[in-house]
Chain A
Amino acid sequence: MQSEKSGPLQVVGRRLPRVDAKERVTGGAVYPADLKLPGMAHAKLLRSPHAHARIRAIDTTRAEALPGVLAVVTAADFPELPIGASVPMGETGYDMWMVAQVNMARGKVLWIGQPVAAVAALDLHIAEAALGLIEVDYETLPAVIDLAAAMAPDAPVLHEHVFTKGVEPRPRTPSNICSRTVIARGDATAALATAPATAGISVAIDTAHQGYLEPQATVAEVDANGFVTVWTSTQGQFTAELMIGRMLGLPLSRLKVCPLEVGGAFGGKIIIHGEAVAARLAQKCGRPVKMVLTREEVLQGGSGPPSAARIDIAVGADKDGRLAAIKASYHLDAGGLPGLGPSLVMQASAALYQCPNLDLQGFDVVTNKPRTEAYRAPGGIQAAFAMEQAMDALCQRLGMDALEFRKRNASVTGGLMPIGTPFPSIGLTTILDRVGAHSCWTDALPQGRYPRGRGLAVGYWRGTSMTSAGHITIAGDGRPMVTMGAVDISGVRSTMAQVVAEEFGLPLDDIHVQTGDSKSVGYTDPAAGSRVARTSTAALVEASRDALAQLRARAAEKLQCLPDQLDYAHGAFRSRQRSGAAISLPELMQATLTDGAVVGRGVSTKLPLGVEIGAHVCDVEVDTDTGLVTVLRYTAFQDVGRALNPIAVEGQMSGSVVQGIGWALMEGFDYGPDGRLRNASLLDYRMPTALDVPPIECVIIETPVPGVAYGVRGVGEVPIVPPAAAIANAIARAIGVRMRHMPMTPERVLRALNA
């Protein structure tokens, strides 16, 4: 919906502090681990020590007998959900059989760290002691830890019900390859065979982690009538509610999920991890139950890290640098349960290039490692690490400038997306022009002690829209009180306060915004896929107009005129008929306080996509004695449609880039041959500190999206896509070696140098 506003914007687009910043800097913001209820018990999960084993029996009698233990649960305490059970989310659904497995193994364990039982006790010390008294009789099974082993013809099969999808005829035997996805046009093989210039690369990417600083935490309480309330750290209270309800076999009218502050999520807090278990324990012991994961649990067994990948790419161009073909295969390591599937990754990797011949094949493969989950533009960074290096190598083969090559082949509005549909409004060429005019690209690379290089990479993320709802009630003093369904993980309370202030023509301080619990606001999908600011803007513009229409009717009655004879501006209605007759919102609400509530409602569903595109340029120095790569300068360009609040946009961009730099250079899961994570601590799994990264310069470009309120695009996801590729391209230019394994740790760089 287009905003009715005309004239220059007053609040939207301004650099403003977050409305919820004060409670954060004072320690007053409440995360679920901070909750303390009377009589509250503390829960711990017992996790599998085996990567693959059948559970023959679980004996909890000794644990239950320990003084201070209040309840013990296993899979037997939950209804068995059939394969294929799902809950809705956006245009698709979420597989509940898998969600149940992530929360409590049934029959078989599929990775080290999968929960098999849980204990609630008077305190954590007792709960921990009780875990040691639970006896699980395992029959260990051969495990497959890496992609190659999982795909071997004689590999032990994880799931008897999984037959490779996307293969004709349908396979007769189950397989660890869950699906095959093909995106093709033209004849890429033939085009590559005759292309004057070709390049290719095969890369492997290790699993990393979202790295949210707040471990999953939840408190569940059951009242005397059996109504369950769950406070949790989640990206979506409604999705959590659907999942908890299904796991417990509880009607939605008997359950409420209250989202509290979220200490980082990045995709890792979409599915529940522990909420339903805590609720079942609370039902059993009749007390509130708190469950907080440890860091080791988060890393080894939590809701899931993003997938590892192996990607092979060949590209070809004519002698003028026009792309002729892209041929690629993508193998994604889903962990112990079927994953997100490779389609989005495949689309993302080829989207920014107009190319007549495409042959992309993707495979989703299960292994005996933690089930994987989304992480900020899921799969995008892996895809770009491969594709942007292949394109860079092709530029080098052609002797062509990397930026010029991308301009020549850039996707444009109306051009074909990889899946064959036309691109909505995109501004890639504008972005590339801005790169070419910026000092990060035109400045000479300063000399250093060690070899230096400059790298360029582009990134694409499709994002999603799904559903967001919200409503605005008008307080007795005339001020708008906003309740939105969106959980705030990106400062959306602040940007939505700006949108509503703009719509009402009121100062920002007059607007109060809160996220509602799952029973106090309309259904809203999780905060994921760069969708929340865009869709909540649309919903709250609609809600503002609805509220203003109701207020207009009341004002007309008070001023004794027709509603359309009133002008509204800056919190007051003024009659055009009788000069001077006016009523402010506070006066109007005071005068009509006994007329019932003014509630403006809005919902956004199926909003046009706000595809995200960015281009990054970085300078690196490679210490050829140690292999250490230092990022010296980093500039990120991005079309955000419209920056509702440039501070928030920069925050999303810088944070996303730094996560990308982390995965590029230092973050990787180190699994032993037995499937045990050998670096399950933040000492050994190292994320970037302030000393590891340079200042990130953010260049915001605004090409508003047609048909979307305020023209907002998604912001937060795409900046994580290009960093690894930009750094790899810079390394290749510095030392003449292509990096094929990510993260590009010092030892891997040294090994590549000496190969």
Chain B
Amino acid sequence: MKTLITCTVNGAEHTLLIDTRDTLLDLLRERLGLTGCKEGCGNGNCGTCTVLVDGAATNACLMLALEAPGRDIVTIEGVSLQGKLHPIQRALVEHGGTQCGFCTPGIVLSAKALLDNNPSPTTAEVRHAIAGNICRCTGYDKIVDAIVGAAATLQAGGR
């Protein structure tokens, strides 16, 4: 069945005819071309499709596109500001916190959800915040260091 929805993604409003079976992930990737959002498992177990829904880190594969209207959705494409990397992104680059890169967009958004609510997390809090994002390449240390580093940059007023 098809239905018409209007939703807001990265601040822009879109009106789309969708298949009611489509997930938010399908909507973002296939309809809006926001392919930074990855599908690693389709079951909410790996975190590669993490986006922000009303500020909360959410698996886009577990949410129907039908649920998108009225929500503020932010994907990795909406994180950098005027072409400038967000401090979390910059820290991941500098610390070597991205290898194959498939988990990275989800990690950035989980980290953003954390730092938006808890500006100076402990290492344990950082590990907890990204526990829903599997990374198979890095062993996590450099990701954790990057997020802690980004928190410090943001606290110091850096951008």
Contact = CB atoms under 8 A, between A and B. Distances in A.
Interface in A491-509: 491
Given A654-B138, A687-B134, 9 more contacts: A17-B93, A27-B34, A212-B102, A264-B136, A295-B46, A682-B40, A683-B43, A691-B127, A695-B141
Interface residues of B, number: 58
A754 B136 CA distance: 34
B57 interface: no
B58 interface: no
A526 to B, nearest CB: 16
Contacts of B105: 25, 27
A261 B128 contact: no
A276 interface: no
Interface stretch (B65-73, B74-82, B151-159): B74-82
Nearest to A25: B89
Nearest to B98: A24
Contacts, number: 170
24 contacts: A18-B96, A23-B101, A26-B77, A27-B34, A27-B76, A27-B104, A36-B33, A212-B100, A212-B102, A213-B46, A213-B136, A214-B102, A295-B43, A651-B137, A654-B142, A655-B135, A655-B138, A658-B139, A658-B140, A682-B134, A690-B126, A690-B127, A690-B128, A691-B127
Interface in A76-122: none
A681 interface: yes
A213 B43 contact: no
A654 B137 CA distance: 8
Given A27-B77, A682-B46, A687-B136, A21 B93 contact: yes
Interface of B: 19, 21, 29-30, 33-43, 45-46, 48, 75-77, 79-80, 85, 89-90, 92-96, 98-105, 108, 126-128, 130-144
Given A25-B92, A654-B142, A213 B48 contact: yes
Interface string A653-686: 1111111000000000000000000000111000
B100 A213 contact: yes
Contacts of A295: 40-43, 45-46
A490 B96 CA distance: 12
Interface in A587-640: none
Interface in A26-58: 26-31, 33-34, 36
Contacts of B33: 36
Contact of B99 (A26, A34, A655, A687): A655
A263 B101 contact: yes
Interface size classification for chain A: 35 or more
A653 B89 CA distance: 23
Contacts of B104: 24-25, 27
Contacts of A653: 139
Contacts of A34: 29, 35
A507 B61 CA distance: 43
A22 B101 contact: no
Contact of A264 (B39, B94, B102): B102
A682 B45 contact: yes
Q: Which 4 A-B pairs have the closest CB atoms?
A: A27-B36, A654-B139, A263-B102, A24-B101
A721 to B, nearest CB: 15
A489 interface: yes
Interface in A461-492: 489-491
A31 B29 CA distance: 12
Contacts of A654: 138-142
Contacts of B108: 25
B45 A650 contact: no
Nearest to A16: B96
A339 to B, nearest CB: 23
Contacts of B19: 125
A270 to B, nearest CB: 16
Contacts of B103: 213
A293 B38 CA distance: 13
A212 B135 CA distance: 9
A696 B128 CA distance: 17
B43 A681 contact: yes
Given A213-B48, A654-B141, A648 B102 contact: no
Nearest to B46: A682
Contacts of B29: 34
A182 interface: no
Nearest to B134: A687
A726 to B, nearest CB: 15
A214 B48 CA distance: 9
A673 to B, nearest CB: 25
- Chain B at the A interface: SS class: loop
A687 B134 CA distance: 7
B159 to A, nearest CB: 15
Given A125-B19, A682-B45, A264 B137 contact: yes
A681 B131 contact: no
Nearest to B142: A651
A294 interface: yes
Contact of B131 (A22, A30, A125, A689): A689
Contacts of A658: 139-140
Contacts of A28: 36
A213 B45 contact: no
B139 A655 contact: yes
Given A27-B76, A681-B45, A682-B46, A214 B40 contact: yes
A22 B50 CA distance: 19
A288 interface: no
Contacts of A659: 136
B120 to A, nearest CB: 18
A693 B140 contact: yes
B121 to A, nearest CB: 13
A691 B128 contact: yes
B153 to A, nearest CB: 14
A27 B29 CA distance: 12
A184 interface: no
Nearest to B126: A690
Contact of B38 (A23, A263, A691): A263
A691 B43 contact: no
A151 interface: no
A511 to B, nearest CB: 17
A211 interface: yes
B66 to A, nearest CB: 16
A212 B45 contact: no
Contact of A26 (B41, B76, B94, B135): B76
A647 B134 contact: no
Contacts of B46: 213, 295, 682
Contacts of A24: 98, 101, 104
Nearest to B137: A655
B80 A214 contact: no
Nearest to B127: A690
B100 A647 contact: no
A693 B35 CA distance: 30
A294 B45 CA distance: 13
B127 to A, nearest CB: 4
A390 interface: no
Contacts of A211: 134, 136
A262 B38 CA distance: 13
Contacts of B38: 31, 33, 213-214, 263
A516 interface: no
A302 interface: no
A660 to B, nearest CB: 10
A376 to B, nearest CB: 11
A689 B40 contact: no
A682 B92 CA distance: 25
Given A24-B101, A655-B139, A650 B96 contact: yes
Contacts of A267: none
B69 to A, nearest CB: 22
A33 B96 contact: no
B39 A690 contact: no
Most chain B CB within 10 A, of A26, A34, A688, is at A26
Contacts of A274: none
Interface in A283-300: 292, 294-295
